[in-house]
C-alpha cells in the first residue's frame, strides 16, 4: 500500500513512529511510470510519474544525504531502483539503517522530479539540502544502489548522529567570518588527495586515506584541540556530521561545521574566498574550479604544478591515486610510489609480467632484506611495522610464484641454423632437378 493512499494525519503519525524506531510502520511506496514528455511546464498528476525524453546536455547533478531511520533497507532500495530507472538517472546511492547518501545525474527535469518524489513520498526528506550543479558531460557511467552498514564508512568507530547532536552548523558567510577569529583551528575532514589539490587557507590536513582513519587523527591530537574553537568542513557536509559528533563525544564542546560543505561555500564565494585550488567531486568531472584558477597541486616526481588525478597513475603498492604529470608518467614507465611506500622503490612491482628470472631473484633478495630490517628494534617498534611486513610477505610469495611459473616453462629447442640451411638447400636442389626432368 502506498503512503499517498493514507490520510495526511495517518501518514505523519507513521513517520513519527518510524523516527521512534517502529519498523512495521515503514511503508515503501510504488510509482506508476510512463515515458512521455510533460506537455507543459506544470508537473504531472501526483499519481503518475512521467519521465521526459533523454537530453544530451546539460546534465544536472544532485548531491544529498539524510540521517534518518530506514528499517526496511531492502524495500527502500527496490523503490529507489524503480524510481531512478524510470527517470533515466545514473549515479550512486548508499542506503543504510542510519539513512541515505546519494549522488545522481540526469536531465534537469528528471533530477527535479526525483527530488519532488522523495519529498512527497517521505516527509523526512523535505529538510534535505539538495546540492545541485550542472555538467556538460554525462556525470556517471551507470546506476548503482547499495545497502551498506554505514552511509559514510567509519569502520563502526562513530555512531550515527541524531538531529542537532553534532557541531553547530554555520552558513558559508558565517563560516567565512569565523575563519578570521582568534584561537581557531580549521580541520579539513576530507582525505589527503582532496586536500592536495584544494583546501581552505591554513586548514589542518589530517593526512588520511579514508574517513575511517579520522578518529585516530583526533585521538592523537585531542590535547592540542582543547580550549580551541574547532571549525570543520568537507565536500558536502556528510563527513562533518559524524566527525563533529566524534569530537563532541571526545569531550570538545566548541565545535562548528560548514553547512553544505565546500559545495555551498564555492557557491557563496565564486572566487573561492579562503578556498584555494579545486574542489574534488565524485563524478566524471573529477574536480570543480573556482573563478580563481589557482593550481596548488604538484607532480610527486618533478614537482611542477599539476592537479589532475588520472586512473592510470596510482601507487604501485596500495593503488592510491597520485599526482603525476604526463611527462613523468612516460619517464617512470607507469611505476610510482606514494609517500607511505617510497621505501619499496626498486623492490616492489605490482605487475611482474615482463621480468626475467634473474630480475625476479634480485627483487626477492631486496624484499627479504627489507623484511629482515623491519624486524629489528623493540617489541613496540616491530608491532608498528606489522602492516609493512605483511605487505612485503605477500609480495615475496607473489615473486616466488612467478619465478616457479617461469622456471616450469618448457625450454625452447635450440635450432642449428647451419644444419637447417644445408637441409633447405638440399631440398631446393632436389626440386630443381625434378623440374629439369619434367622439361
Contact 364, 399 (CB under 8 A): yes
Residues 6+ apart with CB under 8 A from 79: 28, 29, 30, 31
Backbone phi, then psi, for 309, in 5-degree steps?
-85, 130
Residue 265 CA to residue 177 CA, distance in Å, equals: 12
Give me the sign of the Cα torsion angle 378, 380, 385, 390. Answer: positive
- 86 class by beta-carbon count within 10 Å (0-12 exposed, 13-18 middle, 19+ buried): buried
* Whole-number Å distance between alpha carbons of 400 and 380: 30
Give me the active site residues, please: 234
Yes or no: say if 93 and 22 are a contact pair by the CB < 8 Å rule.
no
DSSP assignment string, 212-234: GGHHHHHHHHHHHHTTSEEEEE-
Residue pair 262/186 in contact by the 8 Å Cβ criterion: no
Measured distance CA(360)–CA(402) in Å, rounded: 8
Dihedrals phi, psi of 17, to nearest 5 degrees = -70, -40
Q: Cα(129)–Cα(168) distance, rounded to whole angstroms? A: 16
Amino acid at each position: 500500500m502506498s503512503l499517498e493512499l493514507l490520510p495526511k494525519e495517518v501518514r505523519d503519525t507513521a513517520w513519527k513512529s518510524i523516527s521512534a524506531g517502529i519498523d512495521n510502520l515503514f511503508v515503501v511506496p510504488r510509482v506508476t511510470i510512463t515515458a512521455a514528455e510533460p506537455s507543459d511546464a506544470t508537473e504531472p498528476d501526483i499519481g503518475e510519474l512521467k519521465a521526459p525524453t533523454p537530453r544530451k546536455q546539460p546534465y544536472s547533478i544532485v548531491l544529498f544525504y539524510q540521517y534518518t531511520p530506514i528499517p526496511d533497507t531492502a524495500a527502500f532500495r527496490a523503490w529507489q531502483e524503480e524510481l531512478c530507472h524510470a527517470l533515466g538517472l545514473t549515479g550512486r546511492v548508499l542506503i543504510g539503517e542510519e539513512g541515505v547518501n546519494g549522488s545522481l545525474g540526469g536531465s534537469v527535469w528528471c533530477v527535479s522530479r526525483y527530488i519532488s518524489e522523495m519529498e512527497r513520498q517521505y516527509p523526512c526528506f523535505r529538510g534535505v539540502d539538495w546540492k545541485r550543479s550542472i555538467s556538460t558531460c554525462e556525470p556517471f557511467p551507470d546506476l548503482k544502489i547499495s545497502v551498506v552498514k554505514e552511509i559514510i564508512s567509519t569502520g563502526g568507530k562513530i555512531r550515527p548522529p541524531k538531529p542537532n547532536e553534532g557541531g553547530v552548523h554555520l552558513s558559508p558567510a558565517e563560516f567565512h567570518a569565523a575563519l578570521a577569529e582568534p584561537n581557531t583551528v580549521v580541520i579539513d575532514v576530507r582525505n589527503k588527495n582532496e586536500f592536495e589539490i584544494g583546501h581552505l587557507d591554513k586548514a589542518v590536513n589530517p593526512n588520511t586515506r579514508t574517513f575511517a582513519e579520522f578518529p585516530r587523527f583526533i585521538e592523537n591530537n585531542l590535547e592540542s584541540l582543547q580550549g580551541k574553537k574547532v571549525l570543520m568542513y568537507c565536500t558536502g557536509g556528510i563527513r562533518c556530521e559524524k566527525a563533529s559528533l566524534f569530537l563532541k563525544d571526545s569531550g570538545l564542546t566548541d565545535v562548528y561545521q560548514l553547512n553544505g560543505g565546500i559545495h555551498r561555500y564555492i557557491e557563496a564565494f565564486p572566487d573561492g574566498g579562503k578556498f584555494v585550488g579545486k574542489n574534488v567531486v565524485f563524478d566524471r568531472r573529477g574536480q570543480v574550479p573556482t573563478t580563481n584558477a589557482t593550481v596548488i597541486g604538484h607532480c610527486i616526481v618533478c614537482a611542477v604544478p599539476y592537479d589532475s588525478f588520472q586512473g592510470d597513475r596510482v601507487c604501485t603498492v596500495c593503488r592510491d591515486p597520485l599526482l603525476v604529470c604526463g611527462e613523468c608518467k612516460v619517464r617512470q614507465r607507469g611505476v610510482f610510489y606514494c609517500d607511505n611506500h617510497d621505501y619499496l622503490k626498486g623492490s616492489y612491482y605490482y605487475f611482474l609480467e615482463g621480468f626475467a628470472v634473474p630480475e625476479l631473484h634480485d627483487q626477492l633478495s631486496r624484499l627479504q632484506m627489507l623484511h629482515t630490517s623491519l624486524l629489528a628494534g623493540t617489541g613496540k617498534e616491530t608491532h608498528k611495522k606489522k602492516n609493512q611486513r605483511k605487505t612485503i610477505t605477500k609480495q615475496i610469495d607473489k615473486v616466488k610464484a612467478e619465478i616457479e611459473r617461469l622456471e616450469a616453462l618448457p625450454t625452447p629447442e635450440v635450432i642449428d641454423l647451419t644444419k637447417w640451411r644445408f637441409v633447405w638447400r638440399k631440398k631446393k636442389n632436389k626440386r630443381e632437378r625434378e623440374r629439369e626432368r619434367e622439361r
